[in-house]
Amino acid sequence: MRSPHFTADRGVPGLPSPVSGADRAPLEFDVIIAGCGPTGAMLAAELRLHEVRVLVLEKETEPVSFARIVGLHIRSIELMAMRGLLERVLEHGRQRPAAGFYAAIDKPAPQGLDSAYAYLLGIPQPVLVDLLEEHAIALGAQVRRGAAVAELEQDDDGVTVELADGHQLRTRYLVGCDGGRSTVRKLLGVGFPGEPSRTETLMGEMEVGVPPEEIAAKMAASRETDKRWNLRPTGGGRYSVIVPAAGVSDRAQPPTIEDFQQQLRAVAGTDFGVRSPRWLSRFGDATRLADRYRVGRVLLAGDAAHIHPPIGGQGLNLGVQDAVNLGWKLAAQIRGWAPETLLDTYQAERHPVAEDVLDNTRAQMELLSTGPGPRAVRRLLTELMDFDDVNRYLIEKITAIGIRYDFGAGPDLLGRRLPDIDVKRGRLYGLLHRGRGLLVDRTERLSAGGRPDRVDYLADPTAALDVPCVLLRPDGHVAWIGDDQRDLDDHLSRWFGEPAH
């Protein structure tokens, strides 16, 4: 049930539809999302802000049983604030400084990072997924568990999705958020080039049987020459433990606590009395990026589009940020006001971001190698990170606040996300909860012109900006800077379509 590339909503000229219009089932949904992880749940919520009919299919019947701790980086925390979710997320998370991300080089957080949320938030991944799923359902999304995509076929009007049980569904668009082994990506025949795993690592959360001082001393002594292992407290007397997997049980079998004990003794000379694991897993350093993020009416996001080693903790964040970039654009296509090329900007913007993440994880993995060359480079980079500009650049890269989309020539702020500045109605991000664009007008004389369903307006001469006015996209990136109405109208049409009649 595969089909060729389609262009926008119009199909491929000259190619017949696989099924005649009279025989097609009605379109039950506007968007079906395969996968209810962080990316899929966030995307569902973003679409529901625009009243798009959404169904999320999750092949697992129950949530995962272990509570792996993940880190929300600054940009993702900002997105939670933009959608009114941050207070709920903070209730379940643990804040720590935005430091030590890059190749686990222990440097302090740079001073004055350009964000109101300049910290890392550790949170159990199942808790985060539950919060995002509850948010999507509260907005009207449907979630169906135990439903795996088996086949798909697209035509001029939509996509037919066949489930593993043989049931068929019809939707206008399908988005694969179904992980690194994505069924949707494979059915599309989209290439996934990159490098297979060369090394594997064990990761888990468990109790230890020795005092924290002993752990710190042993790590300080041993990790001078071997950076491939780590013990980090996660709270409640438990530690996150990372060790090389070489020489332990078959990859097809889940790791055991004995594997961790064996590997800790090999790299640290002691197993630290580790016991009572909450969860154990293993991962490789495979690094791959999808050739395309879109084939007609089917799109990819999150790990379905890119995989890389977890060093730096960027994977989940990259997927959530994909979802926020894609959500309003796909909704605009469905609601009928999207400019012709708007949906294409999803790949144009997010593919280069993923390329950069893959490159920086490749570099970090090299810096963890034990060979004399990588160790020499690591020592040099450690010295360079004593310069604030170097440390800041790397932290901004890892936490995604350094991203600048290419919107053409203009001030440095153009294409960047706007921080959560003070405005007369409180904080800027509080005005973005509905997922619309926002015109912040310090001159009090401009207009968003006939787009009340897409762009909100704030006349505020007190807004903490160094420019007269800015037009923000729903993802908080600055789409225009200036004070001329005609120039603004051109950019409104570029991002938000023509005015409503």
Please tell me whether residues 31 and 157 are part of one structural domain. Answer: yes
Q: What is the pLDDT of residues 270-320, one digit of tens each?
A: 999 999 998 888 888 899 999 999 999 999 999 999 999 888 889 999 999
Q: Is residue 413 part of a domain?
A: no
Give 415: exposed, middle or buried? Use CB within 10 Å, 0-12, 13-18, 19+.
middle
Q: Helices 344-367 and 315-335 sit at what angle, rounded to 10 degrees?
A: 180
Please tell me whether residues 179 and 241 are part of one structural domain. Answer: no
- Domain count across the chain: 3
Please tell me whether residues 440 and 471 are part of one structural domain. Answer: yes
Half-sphere exposure of 219 (CA within 13 A, CB side): 20
Q: Is residue 401 part of a domain?
A: no
pLDDT at 307: 96
Q: Is residue 104 part of a domain?
A: no
Whether residue 465 has pLDDT greater than 90: yes
Distance in angstroms (rounded) separating the CA atoms of residues 299 and 185: 9
Of 251, 284, 317, which one is at a domain's C-terminal end?
A: 284
Please tell me whether residues 462 and 483 are part of one structural domain. Answer: yes
Please tell me whether residues 339 and 321 are part of one structural domain. Answer: yes
Please tell me whether residues 51 and 175 are part of one structural domain. Answer: yes
Q: Is residue 468 part of a domain?
A: yes
Q: Is residue 221 part of a domain?
A: yes
Of 323, 339, 359, which one is at a domain's C-terminal end?
A: 359
Q: Strands 119-124, 69-72: parallel, antiparallel or unpaired by DSSP? A: antiparallel
Distance in angstroms (rounded) separating the CA atoms of residues 231 and 242: 7
Q: Is residue 439 part of a domain?
A: yes
- Three-state secondary structure call for residue 57: strand
Whether residue 468 has pLDDT greater than 90: yes
Please tell me whether residues 57 and 133 are part of one structural domain. Answer: yes
Q: Select the more confidently predicted residue: 365 or 429.
A: 429
pLDDT at 500: 86
Q: What is the pLDDT of residues 135-188, one digit of tens each?
A: 999 999 999 999 999 999 999 999 999 999 999 999 999 999 999 999 999 999
Do 478 and 417 touch, CB atoms closer than 8 A? yes
Please tell me whether residues 252 and 157 are part of one structural domain. Answer: no
Q: Is residue 112 part of a domain?
A: no
What CATH number corresponds to the domain at position 461? Answer: 3.40.30.120
Please tell me whether residues 142 and 55 are part of one structural domain. Answer: yes
pLDDT at 22: 45
Please tell me whether residues 186 and 319 are part of one structural domain. Answer: yes
Say which residues have a Cβ less than 8 Å from residue 251's Cβ, sequence separation at least 6.
200, 245, 282
Q: What is the pLDDT of residues 186-195, one digit of tens each?
A: 999 999 999 9
Mean pLDDT, residues 387-393? 95
* Residue among 116, 112, 23, 79 nearest 473 (CA): 79
Q: Select the more confidently predicted residue: 1 or 81.
A: 81
What CATH number corresponds to the domain at position 271? Answer: 3.30.70.2450
Q: Strands 200-207, 238-244: parallel, antiparallel or unpaired by DSSP? A: antiparallel
Domain limits for position 66:
21-93+125-194+288-359
Please tell me whether residues 221 and 264 are part of one structural domain. Answer: yes
What CATH number corresponds to the domain at position 318? Answer: 3.50.50.60
Please tell me whether residues 187 and 42 are part of one structural domain. Answer: yes
* Residue among 475, 439, 467 nearest 455 (CA): 439
DSSP of 359-417: HHHHHHHHHT--SHHHHHHHHHHHHHTTSHHHHHHHHHHHHTTT-B---SSS-TTTTBB
Answer yes or no: pTM beyond 0.85: yes
Q: Is residue 205 part of a domain?
A: yes
Of 261, 284, 307, which one is at a domain's C-terminal end?
A: 284
